[in-house]
Structure 1
Amino acid sequence: MSSATSRPPAPFGRALCAMITPFTDAGALDLDGAQRLADHLVTGGCEGLVLSGTTGESPTTSDAEKAALVRAVADAVAGRASVVAGVGSNDTRLSAEQALAAEKAGADGLLVVTPYYSKPPQDAVEAHFRAVADGCGLPVLLYDIPGRTGTRIAPETILRLADHPRVVGVKDCAYDILGSQKVISRTELAYYAGCDEYNLALYAVGGAGYVSTVSNAIPGQLRAVLDAFDAGDTEAARRGQLAATPLIELMMASGLPGTVTAKALLGELGLPAGPVRAPLLPAGREATDGLRTAYDELRATYDGPRITYGESRATLG
C-alpha cells in the first residue's frame, strides 16, 4: 500500500519551491526572468511555487512588485502548478490588504508570516491570522519561523486556528518536530517542511511535503525523494535525502542566507537570478565555487531515483 494513502491531501501539492525573486543587474524586478525560472522549476518537478517568502526577499520588495510577480508567474505556469503568495507584516491591516492584492493578482493561496518585531502574545498572534484569513477568499498557510520573526506560533495556537475554514496548513520553520507531530496527529492541517534537512523526516510522520529553498537548484531530485517514499521505497528516499545533504548544508547552514546562496548557484547555472537587494550582499567567489562544486558532485555521483519530466507527466526512473 502506498504510504500516501493515509495522508491528508496536500492543498498546494507536495513539492513546493520557495522561489527566489529575479532582479535585473540594475536591481529592478525581472518579470521575464521570473517567468522563465518558474517554467524551469515546474518543468523540473515543482508542484507549487511560493513567491515573496524569505527566499524571495519579501522584506525588500514593494507591494506593487509582489502583486506584479504573482501575475507574471501565474501566467507562466498556467495552472500547471499552484502559486502561493507570501504576505504579512507586523501590521495586521496591511497584511490583510496584501492578502487581497495577492488574491486579485491570481494567487492560489497565501503564506502568511507571523507578525514580527512587535512580539505579540499568543492571543494576539491568533487574532492576527484570523483577521487576515477572514478578509480574503484564499486558503492560508501559517508561516512559523520564529528565528526571523522573534515570535513562535505555539502548537496550541495552531490547534485553535485549525478550526478556521481557510487555514489549511503550516510552513514549519520552528525546529520543533515534537510540536509539529502533536499538531499533525490532532488536525488535518497540511504541514510543509520549511527547512530542507527536515523534508523527509516530516513527510514520514504525515507532513504534506516541503517548501524548499534548495529546490531552486535541484527540484527533480528533491521531488524524487517524496515520490520514492510514496511508492514504498523508503531506502531510495533515504539515499536521496542524504545525497542532497551536503548541498543543503552549504545553501542553508554555511553562514549565508539561503537567498544569497540560491542566487549565487542559479547564476552559475545560467538561470535567472540577478543580484540580492541590500542589506544582503552577494556570495563571494569562494562560496560560489563551493556551491557549484557540491552541485556538480551531487549530479555526478547520485545513484538514487531520478525524475525525467516531460510536458505532461513525470516518471520515476
Structure 2
Amino acid sequence: MSQLRFGRMITAMVTPFNDALELDLDRAQELAVRLVEGGNDALIVNGTTGESPTVFYPQKIELFRAVVSAVGGRVPIIANVGDNCTADTVQFASDVAKLGVDAFMCVVPYYNKPPQEGLYRHFAAIAESTELPIVLYNIPGRCSINMEAETTLRLARDFENIVAVKEASGNFDQIKAIIDGAPEDFVVYSGDDSATLPIMRLGGAGVISTIGNVAPGRMKEIVELAAAGDWAAAEAKNEALMPLMTGLFETANPILVKEALSLVGFPVGGVRLPLVPATPAQSERLANTMREVGVL
C-alpha cells in the first residue's frame, strides 16, 4: 500500500442525479465521503460507472470540483477525462488539472477504431500535455478495439506520468505480459471486480471497482488479503461476494449499481437516457442477491 500512489481499492463512483436527472452535487459529496469512510484508497470520478457519456464537459467540471471539495486531500481523486478526440482530451485535461484533482484516467478511444500507433500517439499527446499521473483504461467490450500489451508497455516506458492501466480486456495472457514487462513503478488494476483475484495472482495491484459503490469494505478486505498473500481467505471472501459482483451486470452498468444504492438506503437518483431504470423484476433479483451475500 505504501508503495502504491492510488492504493489497491479504487471505486469508480456513480454520479448522483436529482429527480429531474440534473447533477446532485450535494449527494455526490455525500457519496464521496461515504466511499472514503467505507475504505476506498482512491476514487475515479465520472468514469463509465459515473455515466460519463451523458455528463457533458461543463457538468464534469462541476462534479470534479464538488468531489475535490468533499474529500480532496483524504484520498487521491482521479478524474476521467478520456475521449475519442485527442485534441478535446488534451484541452479538457488542461482545464480539469486546475481543479486540484490528483490524476487522470483516459480510456482507449472508442468508435473511431484507431490502429495501435494511433493509440500510442493519442496517449502520448495527453501525457506530454500534463504533469499529472495518467491511468490508461483498456476495455475492448465498450471501445470495440483492444490496446495490445506492446502498446501499453511502450507508453509505460516512454512516459513517466503514465503510471497505471485499468485492464478490462479479460485477456489474462495480455495482462500477464503487461505485468511482467512493465517498469517497476507502473501498475495494473483489474477493471472487473470478478477478475480481481486472478489478476492479483499475476502481480496486479488491485481493482478499480464497481461493487465498491455498494460494499467497499467487503471488496477492500478481499484485495488486502490477497496483497498479504492469504489467498485461501481472499478466495473465500471473494466467492461469498461473487454473486453480487456478477449480478450488478445483469443489465448495462450502472443501472443496477444505482438501484443497489437505493436498496441499501442511499438513493442516488436514476440514470440518463439511453440508459433506463431497473425493472421491478431486475430490482427484485438484485435485492435477493444482496440478501444472499449479506449486503442487504
Q: Does the alignment reach a TM-score above 0.5? A: yes
Counterpart residue type for residue 64 of structure 1:
P
Structure 2 match to 1:149: 143
Structure 2 match to 1:180: 175
Deviations for 1:97-129, whole angstroms, at most 9, x for unmatched residues? 121122112211111011111111111110000
Give runs of ≥4 in structure 1 deviating > 3 Å.
Answer: none
Q: Distance in 2 between matches of 1:158 and 1:111?
A: 14
1:270 is the counterpart of 2:229: no
Q: CA deviation at 1:36?
A: 0.4
Q: Distance in 2 between matches of 1:207 and 1:300?
A: 26
1:297 is the counterpart of 2:292: yes
Where 1:242 maps in the other structure, the secondary structure is helix
Structure 2 match to 1:222: 219
Counterpart residue type for residue 279 of structure 1:
P
**Pairwise mapping of residues 98-137 of structure 1 onto structure 2 (< 5 A)?**
98-137=92-131
For residues 73 and 300 of structure 1, do their structure 2 counterparts lie closer, same or farther at Cα, with a shift above 3 Å needed? closer
User: Is the contact made by 1:9 and 1:208 (CA closer than 8 Å) also made in structure 2?
Assistant: no
Q: Distance in 1 between matches of 2:170 and 2:223?
A: 20
User: Is the contact made by 1:68 and 1:105 (CA closer than 8 Å) also made in structure 2?
Assistant: no
User: Is the contact made by 1:137 and 1:166 (CA closer than 8 Å) also made in structure 2?
Assistant: yes
Q: CA deviation at 1:280?
A: 0.3
Q: Distance in 1 between matches of 2:266 and 2:148?
A: 38
Q: CA deviation at 1:31?
A: 0.5
User: Is the contact made by 2:14 and 2:254 (CA closer than 8 Å) also made in structure 1?
Assistant: yes
Where 2:254 maps in the other structure, the secondary structure is helix
Q: 1:234 aligns with which of 213, 217, 231?
A: 231
User: Is the contact made by 1:36 and 1:272 (CA closer than 8 Å) also made in structure 2?
Assistant: no
Q: Distance in 2 between matches of 1:217 and 1:249?
A: 13
Q: Distance in 2 between matches of 1:300 and 1:145?
A: 28
1:192 is the counterpart of 2:185: no
Structure 1 match to 2:61: 67
RMSD (CA atoms) = 1.5
Structure 1 portions without partners, runs of 5+: 302-317
Counterpart residue type for residue 162 of structure 2:
V
User: Is the contact made by 2:248 and 2:257 (CA closer than 8 Å) also made in structure 1?
Assistant: yes
Q: CA deviation at 1:159?
A: 1.2
Structure 2 match to 1:208: 205
Q: CA deviation at 1:300?
A: 7.1
**Pairwise mapping of residues 34-53 of structure 1 onto structure 2 (< 5 A)?**
34-53=28-47
Corresponding pairs, count:
293
* TM-score, normalisation: structure 1: 0.89
Where 1:55 maps in the other structure, the secondary structure is helix
Q: CA deviation at 1:88?
A: 1.6
For residues 211 and 109 of structure 1, do their structure 2 counterparts lie closer, same or farther at Cα, with a shift above 3 Å needed? same
* TM-score, normalisation: structure 2: 0.95
Structure 2 match to 1:79: 73
Q: Distance in 1 between matches of 2:283 and 2:15?
A: 18
User: Is the contact made by 1:9 and 1:190 (CA closer than 8 Å) also made in structure 2?
Assistant: no
Q: CA deviation at 1:146?
A: 1.1
Q: Distance in 2 between matches of 1:126 and 1:11?
A: 24
Counterpart residue type for residue 96 of structure 1:
V
Counterpart residue type for residue 232 of structure 2:
E
For residues 96 and 156 of structure 1, do their structure 2 counterparts lie closer, same or farther at Cα, with a shift above 3 Å needed? same
Q: CA deviation at 1:13?
A: 1.2
**Pairwise mapping of residues 278-297 of structure 1 onto structure 2 (< 5 A)?**
278-297=273-292
Structure 2 portions without partners, runs of 5+: none
User: Is the contact made by 2:72 and 2:101 (CA closer than 8 Å) also made in structure 1?
Assistant: no
Q: Distance in 2 between matches of 1:295 and 1:59?
A: 28
For residues 300 and 169 of structure 1, do their structure 2 counterparts lie closer, same or farther at Cα, with a shift above 3 Å needed? closer
Q: CA deviation at 1:247?
A: 0.5
Deviations for 1:28-56, whole angstroms, at most 9, x for unmatched residues? 00110000011111101111110111111
Q: CA deviation at 1:9?
A: 3.2
